[in-house]
Structures are given as C-alpha cells and as structure tokens.
Amino acid sequence: MIEYIKGELTELTPAMATVETAGVGYGLNISLNTYSALQGKKEVKLYVYEAIREDAYVLYGFYNKKEREMFELLITVSGVGANTARMMLSGMSVSELCSAISTGNARLIQSIKGIGKMTAQRIIVDLRDKIVALGIADEIPAGGSVSAPVNNAVRDEAVAALTMLGFSPAPTQKVVVQILQSQPDLPVEQVVKLALKQIK
C-alpha cells in the first residue's frame, strides 16, 4: 500500500498532478482544493488512495490526510464513486463539507454536480456520526472559517481516551479542540483533565 508520494511536481492540471520520485513519474488524480494548495510548489508530498480495479489501477492524491479521510468516507456511501467524491472535494473544502453533513444541509450538498437529493440525504445519514468519530469534523466557527490548527496526535488520543470513559465523541471533540487552540502545547493527560471539567 502506498501511503504518500514525495518528490518533484513535474506537471499540474486542475485534475491531475505528476510527481517524480526515484526516476518514476506518478500520475495522481486530484481535487481542485489540492490543485490550489500545490500552486507554485516544486517539491510536494501527496497522500495517496489506490483504486485497484480489474481494468485499471488509479492513484488519487491529496494535499493532507483530512481530505483523504473524507474521500475514503464518501466512497463508502452507496451511489458515490471515486470520481463523484473527487468532484465533491473540488466543489467544497473538507470543513465546508463537514459543516454541511453535520448540520444536515442536503441542499448545499446537492449543489455539487452529479449529486441528487437521495444521494445527498444518504451521505448525511451515513457520515454524520463517522466524521465526528474520525476527528475529521474539527470545530468550525460560526463564521465558517477554518479553525486554528491543533496537534492532531494529542487531539485524537485525548478524544479516544474520553470516548472510552463513556463520553460521546461530538461534544468531546469540540471541547478538546477548544482546549488545544488556547493551549497548544498541553500534553494528552492535561487535555483530558481539563476536558473532564468542561464536558457537559
């Protein structure tokens, strides 16, 4: 399994990035969000999803793990294939998509080409809990802007510990992210202790 490809970006189009490493050029299908993130870069690292079919071996490239995780969730939904998932991640950022799913905004999801009413509703029903459990749905402020980055390893460990203690993932995730945004250098045990005082 290929986890990521790191090397020189030799070609870039809105749908495809070619990354050369060790003399081999890998063609990776990308979303518009990844395309934007790669602008002006020579050395790149793309996280990979391998789609292996009888008639094809296709690589999808993602600028970060969050986008790949969302892609992998989307293709688990009946009626959503790899190209549709890529189209969705081209039409909306991961945080916008998370927001639409968590708030049940089917109309916004339907605005993406190729997504009908039934598919939009299926995406919401199937993925609402999963995006929280996997930590993809980082806290999105009311303004819709992306929250400040937090230490993902500490966050995931703290959320997992609190979930094992019997707290539900959604409010736990929210509290942990808030703590790490205000005190980014806290170790896991301190985050858990503070979260225990705050989770309602």
| pLDDT for res 29 | 95
Given a contact cutoff of 8 angstroms between Cβ atoms, the answer to whether 173 and 132 are in contact is yes
Token digits of residue 159: 């959320």
Can you name the residues that pair with 59 across neighbouring β-strands? 50
The pLDDT averaged over each successive group of 10 residues in the chain (200 residues) is 94 94 95 90 95 88 93 93 90 86 88 86 91 64 46 80 77 82 86 82
Contacts (Cβ under 8 Å, ≥6 apart) of 59: 2, 5, 26, 27, 28, 29, 48, 49, 50, 51
| pLDDT for res 181 | 83
Start-to-end CA distance of the chain, whole Å, equals 41
| pLDDT for res 46 | 97
pTM of the prediction? 0.67
| pLDDT for res 183 | 86
CA neighbor of 147 nearest in space, from 124, 181, 173, 175: 181
Alpha carbons 162 and 169: distance in angstroms, whole number? 8
| pLDDT for res 199 | 76
